[in-house]
Amino acid sequence: MEQLYEGYCEQTPVHRLHERFGTANVYGRTSQSILNPATGYITAYDFTLNPYRGCQYGCSYCYAAAFSPNPKMRRDWGNWVIVKENAAELLAKELQGWYRKHPDRPPYIYMSTVTDPYQPIETQKKLTQSLLEVMIEYCPILVIQTRSPMVTRDIPLFQRFKKLRVNMSIPTGSETVRKDFEPQSPSLKARLHAIQTIARSIDPEKGYVPKLSVTITPTLPTRAEDMNGFVERLRGIDRIVLQRFHDPSTRSLVATTRDDAIALKQKYQWWYEDECQSYENFKATLQQRLPETEVLENQQGFGYD
């Protein structure tokens, strides 16, 4: 196998699956485990579940880059992805193990924390879909975190869960800002359309009604001319989650690991000159205009309930 990422392959056996998928080099590997104990920000959950390692979206502020296997891959964040090929098989085994110890309590699972479960390679691998099918059988309480409209592919599975929340990540209402901070990610229009499609497609007569959140995290600038349209398109969502890009009062990893995002803040001085005030104004707008929607901040917003 071509040693594109020297230092990684020597320690962990992976094999090259494709030359490229989009701009990403794609690898496969057999994992030892798939459910990881949840800690830190999402300590309310039992496990995190990441079907892939690496993420083709490569957002400029992504803290997950810090967990890359080596410095070269960290610098090349967004241009590689590793497929955990035995994920579904492992998940079934690990959930059986959980229920042997906790027969009456389903585990809380957060999918995903350091990758996007619906990044482009999922169209081909369908790994996330295979995990959902396993989970339907074992009934965990699941949160799906994504910024991909591909999530609508699995709407038919969502109503078969006992408990499920879908978090759509939309950190700004301005497409120009999105293109600066996360140029490889899907358009805002496609994401808003996707979450509204899920809301419209759910039939309470046909099963469980999933909860729907929009996570504006980190809260990036939204231009004044885009504000009204953005807020209107959030109407009807159960929950909005906010989190300041850089909160000096916490040890948030957000944006601390990627210089690109920090440099971009210079371009948006009209927002960042007084980030605290910009954020508070935005929060107040949401609260006033969307009184029927729960607006939560930081860790509190990422809980299931």
- Which span sits near ligand SF4 by CB under 6 A: 53-61, 85-93, 97-105, 152-160? 53-61
Q: Which is nearer to ligand SF4, 76 or 95 (CB)?
A: 76
| Residue the block writes with tokens 């193990």 | 97
C-alpha span between 64 and 185 (Å, rounded): 15
- Which span sits near ligand SF4 by CB under 6 A: 59-67, 225-233, 260-268, 294-302? 59-67
Among 62, 141, 168, 220, binds ligand SF4 (CB under 6 A): 62
Q: How far is the CB of 64 from ligand SF4 (least distance, A)?
A: 5
Q: Which is nearer to ligand SF4, 98 or 118 (CB)?
A: 118
Q: Between residue 209 and residue 268, which ones bind ligand SF4 under the rule CB under 6 A?
A: none
Cis amide linkage into residue 130, ω under 30° from 0:
no
Residue 180 as a binder of ligand SF4 (CB under 6 A): the answer is no
In single-letter form, the type of residue at position 234 comes to L
φ/ψ of residue 130, rounded to 5: -65, -30
Q: How far is the CB of 169 from ligand SF4 (least distance, A)?
A: 7
Q: How far is the CB of 203 from ligand SF4 (least distance, A)?
A: 30
Among 41, 57, 110, 181, binds ligand SF4 (CB under 6 A): 57
Q: What length does the chain have?
A: 305
Q: What is the 3-state secondary structure (H, E, C) of the chain?
A: CCCCCCCCCCCCCCEEEEEEECCEEEEEECCCCCEEECCHHHCCCCEEECCEECCCCCCCCCHHHHHCCCHHHHHCCCCEEEEECCHHHHHHHHHHHHHHHCCCCCCEEEECCCCCCCCCCHHHHCHHHHHHHHHHHHCCEEEEEECCHHHHHHHHHHCCCCEEEEEEECCCCCHHHHHHHCCCCCCHHHHHHHHHHHHHHCCHHHCCCCEEEEEEEEECCCCHHHHHHHHHHCCCCCEEEEEECCCCCCCCCCCCCCHHHHHHHHHHHHHHCCHHHHHHHHHHHHHHHCCCCEEEEHHHHCCCC
Q: Which is nearer to ligand SF4, 64 or 164 (CB)?
A: 64
- Which span sits near ligand SF4 by CB under 6 A: 4-12, 40-48, 85-93, 113-121? 113-121
Please count the residues of this chain forming the interface with ligand SF4, following the rule CB under 6 A. Answer: 10
Residue 59 as a binder of ligand SF4 (CB under 6 A): the answer is yes
The token pair that represents 284 in the structure block? 């107040």
Q: Which is nearer to ligand SF4, 85 or 260 (CB)?
A: 260
Among 24, 26, 64, 195, binds ligand SF4 (CB under 6 A): 64
- Which span sits near ligand SF4 by CB under 6 A: 51-59, 153-161, 188-196, 203-211? 51-59
Among 84, 147, 233, 265, binds ligand SF4 (CB under 6 A): 147
- Which span sits near ligand SF4 by CB under 6 A: 11-19, 52-60, 172-180, 241-249? 52-60
Residue 194 as a binder of ligand SF4 (CB under 6 A): the answer is no
Q: How far is the CB of 10 from ligand SF4 (least distance, A)?
A: 25
Binding site for ligand SF4 (CB under 6 A): 55, 57-59, 62, 64, 114-116, 147
